[in-house]
Amino acid sequence: MELIQKGLVATLVAGGVGTVGYHTIQKGNGTTLLDHITSKKRELISEDSEWEKKDTPYKTAPQEDLISGLEPRDTTKFKLWERLKKWCTSTGSKVFTNLSDDTYQKFSIWCLKPKTLNETLKNEGLTETTNWTEKVKEFNAEGNTDSGFVKPKPPVTKGEKKPIENKDIEDTCKTEKEKPFRHEYEPPYASVKRWCFDDPNAKPKAVSKNE
């Protein structure tokens, strides 16, 4: 059977730290990065004019956003955007392992046509919520670990915890959902998905007898 590529696979070791190794796959096995993003209605950049727009952002990006082995500079033969285009084109055929994979995340950041969180989540089949009262109730509940997503207005007294209101979360969602999507492990993605959208296919929550 035809061998087509080498893919990254994460192996867990003691302490939960992942080490990366390579394995050879055979044609027909696994899902590629390009397969995955296509299934999410996201697209690889196709026009050179769009690739060129990635030049300055990549050259000024923080170190943690850079692709391993792709230095943020032009070479004597190629512009940075041309090298980035080549990396993206070849990397799209690598195996998609999971959302936390560094190669997938860099591919998602640098290789795809830009989309907002709003567009991305709608493409995933979610709908913008209208049930703000329920969202506020959940947000104000004890044990909410994402309480920093919405800031109540007006500013509260130092040390005082003021519950948010419908307008607070509506205004936050209106702003946050228009931010650019990078990948699923970026904090804005999970927060916007949780507080600003609903899954129409989700089972209704059980109602407590005390309510």
Mean pLDDT of the chain: 85
At residue 100, the pLDDT reads 96
Q: In which band, very low, low, confident or very high, does the pLDDT at 187 lie, cut at 50, 70 and 90?
A: confident
pLDDT of 114 higher than 50 = yes
At residue 196, the pLDDT reads 98
At residue 26, the pLDDT reads 33
49-95 confidence digits (pLDDT tens): 999 999 999 999 999 999 999 999 999 999 999 999 999 999 999 99
At residue 155, the pLDDT reads 62
Among 6-10, 34-38, 73-77, 155-159, which stretch is predicted with the lowest mean pLDDT? 6-10
> Do the beta carbons of residue 183 and residue 105 sit within 8 Å?
yes
Q: pTM for the complete prediction?
A: 0.78
Spell out the residues 6+ positions from residue 4 whose beta carbon is closer than 8 angstroms to its own. Answer: 25, 26, 27, 93
pLDDT of 104 higher than 90 = yes
At residue 4, the pLDDT reads 34
**Phi and psi for 67 in degrees, rounded to 5?**
-80, 130
Spell out the residues 6+ positions from residue 56 whose beta carbon is closer than 8 angstroms to its own. Answer: none
Q: Read off the DSSP letter of residue 110.
A: H
At residue 9, the pLDDT reads 34
